[in-house]
Amino acid sequence: MKLHTFPPSPNSRKVELVAHTLGIKLEIVPVNLPAQEHCQPVFLALNPKGMIPVLQDGDFVLPESNAIMVYLAEKKPSALWPSDPRARAEVHSWLCWDLAHWQSTIGIFMFQNIVKPLVLKQGEPDEAMLVAARELLRRHAGVLDGHLAQHDYVVGPQPTLADFALAPVFNFTEMGKIPVEPYGHIRRWFGRIQALPAWKATEPKF
Ligand SMILES: N[C@@H](CCC(=O)N[C@@H](CS)C(=O)NCC(=O)O)C(=O)O
C-alpha cells in the first residue's frame, strides 16, 4: 500500500501511527506541498480534493486521514478500533469531533502561524482570525481536558484511533503558537502518547 503524503503533516502521522501499531508496511510517496505538487493535474487525478494524505491500495484510492485510519484498522482487527459496538461508537464519536471541531480550530493556528508566513510567505498572521481561534480553542481544549481528567486514554484503557487522531497536532503547539499550556490533563495524556513506540517511530524528520 502506498501513502501519498507530506511527511511533516499531522494528518499523515495519524495514518502512520496506525500502520506502525498494526505492523502494516506503507510505501511513502512524498508530495511536496510547499512546491504546490498537490495542485498539479497528476495529483488531482488521484485526489480531486487536492489534499494529502491519500492511501492507494491497488486500484482503491482513499483520501481523508480518519477514513484511512479506519480502513487500515478494519483490515487488521485490534484494540485500536474496538469490536464492542459501544466502545467503537465512542471512538467514532471522537473521530467526528476531531474533524468537525478540533482540527478546524487547530488548523487556524497552523495556517496563520506556520503555513501563511513561513511556507506561503504571504505575510503576517491575521490577528482577528487568531482571536476567534483562541476562543474556539478555550471551548474545545476545555472539553478534551475535562474528559482526560477522568481517563488515561480517550476511549477505554489503551490507545485507540481516537488518540491517534487527536495527538499529532500537539507536535506543532510551539511552532503554531497554540495556547495549550493551561490544560494539564491534555499535557499528561500527550506524554503517554509520546511514550508509545509508534509515536517514536513516526517522528517527522524536518
Ligand atoms: N480532512 C483532511 C484534511 C487534510 C489536510 O488538511 N491536508 C493538508 C496537509 S496536513 C493539505 O493537504 N493541505 C493542502 C491544501 O489544503 O491546499 C484529512 O483529515 O485528511
Write out pLDDT tens, residues 94-143: 999 999 999 999 999 999 999 999 989 999 999 999 999 999 999 999 99
Pocket test for ligand 1, best of 5, 6, 9, 11 (most atoms within 8 A of CB): 11
Output the ligand 1 site: residues, CB below 6 A: 9, 11, 33, 38, 50-53, 64-66
Atom of ligand 1 nearest to the CA of 65: 20
- Contact in structure between 176 and 115 (CB atoms under 8 Å): no
Going by alpha carbons, the residue nearest to atom 14 of ligand 1 is 51
137: phi then psi, degrees, rounded to nearest 5: -60, -40
The Cα 144–Cα 141 span in angstroms is 5
The Å distance, Cα 12 to ligand 1 centre, comes to 9
Set of cell numbers at residue 74: 478494519
Residue 47 has which C-alpha cell? 485526489
State yes or no: pLDDT of 205 exceeds 80.
no
Q: Which three cell numbers stand for residue 197?
A: 513506540
Beta bridge partners of 55: 3, 62
pTM across the whole model: 0.96
Cβ of 166: how many Cβ atoms within 10 Å? Answer: 25
Residue with cell 480534493: 49
Element (H, E) at 184: helix 184-194
Q: Is 30 helix (H, G, I), strand (E, B) or coil?
A: strand
Q: Which ligand 1 atom minimizes the distance to the CA of 107?
A: 6
Residue 204 has a pLDDT of: 84
